[in-house]
Structure 1
Amino acid sequence: MRRRPTLTRLLATAALALPIALPATPAVAAPPAPTRQLSDVIPAPVETRPDARGTFTLDPRTVIRTAPGSTDAWRVGHQLADTLRPATGYPLPVLPVHATPLPEIALLLGGADARVGQQGYQLDVTHRGVTIRANTAAGLFAGTQTLRQLLPATIEAAHRQRTTWTVPGGRIIDHPRFAYRGAMLDLARHFHTVDEITAYIDLLSQYKINYLHLHLTDDQGWRIQIDSWPKLTTVGGGPGTGVDGAGPGYLTKADYRAVVAHAAARHITVIPEIDMPGHTNAAQSTYAELNCDGVAPPPRTDMAVGYSSLCIEDELTYRFVEDVIREIAAITPGPFLHIGGDEAHATTDEDYRTFMQRVLPLVAKYGKRAFGWNEIMQVDPPTDVVAQYWGTGTTNADLAEAAARGNKVVMSPANKAYLDMKYDPTTRLGLSWAAYIEVRDAYDWNPAQRVTGVGEQAILGVEAPLWSETLRTLDDIEYMAFPRLPAIAELGWSTTTSHDWESFRTRLGAQAPRWRLQQVDFYPSPQVPWT
């Protein structure tokens, strides 16, 4: 009879099989970490039950345990180990076993509090170890991001640190208020590379964001490969495109798949946007036949909006649109495809309705659920179409009527959630047409009370768009997103009863050492007591 391997042999084997060598850099002495509480997390957890007797300390013997046969938990375990190894210098082997006598971080599917649902988790900390339970891998991953914040900030260091790696004792029960918590990155006004996009994804995932909306096309550039219309990228996304002609580039289909895969590994779903029937000058200046008069307009590198429109009465328009939708849908595993629909000022109301009545069925034909900016609701679309509200007002009759019919709404009011708005008049980047948005402005609003007639049951979630007219680098992205992105993340995840500015600003200030270690170029808002 074959003998079962002993735990000692499993540990030895796992240590030998580690994908990385322990860093040779000497341990760096870190200052004593401030005392942390279970409630110090962003987004704020639903329920915390502290236990001062249950503090857990990671040490070189600590293992990460996942239940045998659970591939999903095993993957999350390896992601956690990869996050914790550089700063701790510990092996942290990932063992698919039922129990160990060693200090452990256990990642288990099933057995959590019934309230956690499909995205939440239960985290228990005792002096013997940490146990995270969830019903899905997404829930386990969310729990590991909470654990990451409960460890000293130096856990984000790239090299080994000499410190005590303690986790405060007790229990967290946590689950999101809204199923959808999104961020949008505009690639059309200025192209951002795969490395920049994936770096942003890594930051988003730390705050339980689970959707990334990529704005891929606009008047100033076309940023996604379409095989059936090949000049869209080589010309429409080529040299001289982007605002001020400073943002050329595009994603090949292989690039796009790599971004989608990177996001999926962090439980983030990518939503592609092809904006139409307006915001289409990049396509129309590339292919003259997409214009009613057959004459290609010149490329545009300014920031004006509302002047372009596809030719609504021409059947070639719908062949073009179907080609694009078919090819994008084929490389997008997520359920949504965003068709824009905003600021179509050059399209008459009648033509706009005609266009949407032709195009919405095409999205469904290729297996996707249509998203659109809130203007799309004026055509009374099917109730599975999602409206994204970007307005600055608190009334919108079309949106309220759509919510009453059963359409879901993602809230992105431009004067609260647009991350490209300046913080104040001195901000070196961004615009100010919607508002100046300081951190408190981004935090102090309720998505379910923003628009009359669009209540809690109609809200799918929230999203923080980041437009790229003034952005050029990853540092620019980070400076405009942080610290406001965590504010929007908390609105999407945490309960209304936990909403408290004084608590949030304190917890936000404590994120600064983590961001510095991660080299995040954040805006040091004077509203926040930075650590």
Structure 2
Amino acid sequence: MMVMKIKTSVLILLCLALTGKLQAFEADTAGGSQLPGPFRVLPTPRKVEILPGGGLSPEQLRTVVAGEGVTRPVMGAFLNPLPYGAFEEDGALTLKLSTASNIPESVEGYILTVQGGSASVEARDQAGLFYGCQTLEQLLEDSRAACAPVPACRITDYPEMSYRAVQIDVKHHLDNMNTYYESIDRLARYKINAVVFEFEDKLRYRRQPLVGAPQAISIEEMAALTRYARKRNIEITPLVQGLGHASYILKHQQYAHLRELEDN
């Protein structure tokens, strides 16, 4: 099934990322700490510091405060429902764009601070704010599952690789479009930033409609999914097979004259 293939691809990528980052993570946290048992962030952050004081439970968050120049990013089940707030206060998630020297240089880097019933994300770019919020969503999921507050901590993170892609091959099996939207949400949570869609005859080609299979994805459906993905820092790239894999075209009698052996 396609969903299983997507999950398998994500697991493989995450295993590779975790293996590659393990040494750097241990070096960074040698003088600091790791998150306690029930809390896990994937991929593993570059640096985790445990801070003094109380942490954060999901029910403590009440508002989102957006700093100057900040566009509120797409969040998740815990953070999306929060209304805007005007002031930094207890129970606020504060989002800030900053060029301070301690902020990672990567546009996807961020610093997430959780302490005293509040949280903040600082980054140089909107992409970093998005990923900081995704990390907080993971921690809040663990908090609710473990019935324990997120510990007071500061997480500094940025990607090892600028291009982190998953391929979705739909040429042999199509799911309904909701499945792909859900997959985009899950991939974004784990900081995948690119998806390669392999189509063959599973796209309705406007100029050559005969090529598209029954129930193929329309251009409009794919455009809508692409817009949805971009809001989650994922770029979708279409993969259309070349001449070496053109049987999905040449099987039609209308294109028989293009075959190497026309009667084959």
TM-score > 0.5, shorter chain as reference: yes
Give distance in 2, aligned partners of 1:211 and 1:285.
Answer: 32
Per the normalisation by structure 2, the TM-score is 0.76
The correspondence of residues 244-263 of structure 1 with structure 2, limited to 5 A, is 249-263=215-229
- Map of 1:291 onto structure 2: 259
- Per-residue deviation, 1:148: 1.3
* Higher alpha-carbon deviation: 172-181 or 53-62: 53-62
Closer, same or farther: CA 61–292 of 1 in aligned 2, 3 Å: closer
Give distance in 2, aligned partners of 1:129 and 1:278.
Answer: 56
1:105 maps to 2:71: no
Give distance in 1, aligned partners of 2:110 and 2:224.
Answer: 28
- Per-residue deviation, 1:182: 1.1
Alignment check: 8 A CA contact 1:55 1:126 kept: yes
The correspondence of residues 136-215 of structure 1 with structure 2, limited to 5 A, is 136-153=125-142, 155=144, 166-215=149-198
Give distance in 1, aligned partners of 2:143 and 2:246.
Answer: 47
- Map of 2:119 onto structure 1: 130
Give distance in 2, aligned partners of 1:277 and 1:170.
Answer: 54
- Per-residue deviation, 1:115: 2.6
Match of 1:94 among 74, 80, 84: 84
Structure 1 gaps of 5+ residues are 1-34, 157-162, 239-248, 298-531
Give distance in 2, aligned partners of 1:128 and 1:60.
Answer: 6
State the AA in 2 paired with 1:83: A
Per the normalisation by structure 1, the TM-score is 0.40
Alignment check: 8 A CA contact 2:113 2:154 kept: yes
Structure 2 gaps of 5+ residues are 1-34
Alignment check: 8 A CA contact 1:84 1:155 kept: no
Give distance in 2, aligned partners of 1:227 and 1:39.
Answer: 49
Give distance in 2, aligned partners of 1:60 and 1:140.
Answer: 20
- Per-residue deviation, 1:193: 2.6
- 3-state SS in 2 of match to 1:94: coil
Give distance in 1, aligned partners of 2:150 and 2:168.
Answer: 34
- Per-residue deviation, 1:40: 2.5
- Per-residue deviation, 1:36: 4.0
Alignment check: 8 A CA contact 2:143 2:149 kept: no
- Map of 1:228 onto structure 2: 207
Alignment check: 8 A CA contact 2:107 2:125 kept: yes
1:83 maps to 2:77: yes
- Map of 2:3 onto structure 1: none
State the AA in 1 paired with 2:230: A
State the AA in 2 paired with 1:255: E
Counting aligned pairs with the same residue, the percent is 24
The correspondence of residues 55-454 of structure 1 with structure 2, limited to 5 A, is 55-59=55-59, 62-70=62-70, 72=71, 74=72, 76=73, 79-80=74-75, 83-84=77-78, 92-95=82-85, 97=86, 99-111=87-99, 113-153=102-142, 155=144, 166-217=149-200, 222-233=201-212, 237-238=213-214, 249-286=215-252, 287-295=255-263, 297=264
State the AA in 1 paired with 2:164: R
Q: Cα deviation per residue 1:211-243 (whole Å; 9 max; x = unaligned)? A: 1111111xxxx111221111011xxx13xxxxx
Give distance in 1, aligned partners of 2:67 and 2:176.
Answer: 38
Alignment check: 8 A CA contact 1:48 1:172 kept: yes
Alignment check: 8 A CA contact 1:62 1:92 kept: yes
- Per-residue deviation, 1:155: 5.0
Alignment check: 8 A CA contact 1:152 1:166 kept: no
- 3-state SS in 2 of match to 1:185: strand
State the AA in 2 paired with 1:289: H
Alignment check: 8 A CA contact 2:57 2:140 kept: no
Closer, same or farther: CA 118–199 of 1 in aligned 2, 3 Å: same
Alignment check: 8 A CA contact 1:225 1:232 kept: yes
Give distance in 1, aligned partners of 2:103 and 2:143.
Answer: 34
State the AA in 2 paired with 1:210: N
Alignment check: 8 A CA contact 1:124 1:171 kept: yes
Alignment check: 8 A CA contact 1:212 1:268 kept: yes
- 3-state SS in 1 of match to 2:245: coil
Closer, same or farther: CA 124–276 of 1 in aligned 2, 3 Å: same
Alignment check: 8 A CA contact 2:93 2:118 kept: yes
- Map of 2:9 onto structure 1: none
Give distance in 2, aligned partners of 1:132 and 1:85.
Answer: 13
- Map of 1:514 onto structure 2: none
- Per-residue deviation, 1:139: 1.2
| Matched residue count | 227
- Per-residue deviation, 1:138: 1.5
Closer, same or farther: CA 40–116 of 1 in aligned 2, 3 Å: farther
- 3-state SS in 1 of match to 2:111: strand
Indicate the structure whose relative CO is greater, using CA pairs within 8 Å and at least 6 residues apart: 2
Alignment check: 8 A CA contact 1:65 1:94 kept: yes
Tell which structure's C-alpha radius of gyration is larger: 1
- Per-residue deviation, 1:164: 6.0
- Map of 1:390 onto structure 2: none
- Per-residue deviation, 1:45: 0.4
Alignment check: 8 A CA contact 1:54 1:168 kept: yes
- Per-residue deviation, 1:39: 7.1
Give distance in 2, aligned partners of 1:111 and 1:202.
Answer: 28
CA RMSD of aligned residues (A): 2.6
Give distance in 1, aligned partners of 2:233 and 2:144.
Answer: 22
- 3-state SS in 2 of match to 1:93: coil
Give distance in 2, aligned partners of 1:60 and 1:150.
Answer: 14
Alignment check: 8 A CA contact 1:67 1:108 kept: yes
